[in-house]
Amino acid sequence: MSAPTDAPGHGPRFDLPETDAFTRPYWEAAADGTLLLRHCAGCGRSHHYPREFCPYCWSEDVHWRPASGRATLYTWSVVHRNDLPPFGTRTPYVAAVVDLAEGPRMMTEVVECGPETLRVGMALEVCFRADGDGGGGVTVPVFRPGAGG
């Protein structure tokens, strides 16, 4: 299943990820409010983005595992202009990289706070945003200030 490319009266959708049989559990869990990571039974490490093998030890003994949803802010950029629909209607927004409590880094968006309050190392927690229309939309993980943040 692919993300919709055209909605009536709109241009191509660049903001929705494409789902496939391999990533479907990730997107279904997100729709249910759970962030999943791939976890390697061989070396015990988690990784993100989802792969069918461990990028650390190359084991294929990897499985989906729920993440805690806790993270710290590693870096960010405030996007003031983006000409790709529908990002132009969302500006300004905070594109960020977070360190998940389980170890991996993840690209995401920080929401529910002003950019002036952001600081490296601040505590964040996952929340989920339903994007797209009812027929082909997905729910994406984003992060907001968390306990101690």
Would you say residue 81 lies in a domain?
yes
Would you say residue 113 lies in a domain?
yes
- Reported as a single tens digit per residue, the pLDDT across 88-141 is 788 899 999 999 999 999 999 999 999 999 999 999 999 999 876 545 678 999
Query: How many domains is the chain partitioned into structurally?
Result: 1
Would you say residue 96 lies in a domain?
yes
Would you say residue 18 lies in a domain?
no
CA quadruple 49, 52, 57, 58: dihedral sign: negative
Q: Can you tell me the distance from the alpha carbon of 102 to that of 47, in angstroms, rounded to the nearest whole number?
A: 8
- pTM (2 decimals)? 0.84
Domain that holds residue 83: 24-145
In angstroms, what CA-CA distances link 59 with 20, 37, 39? Answer: 22, 15, 10
Are the C-beta atoms of residues 95 and 87 closer than 8 Å to each other? no
- Is the pLDDT at 147 greater than 70? The verdict is yes
Would you say residue 4 lies in a domain?
no
- Reported as a single tens digit per residue, the pLDDT across 26-42 is 999 999 999 999 999 99
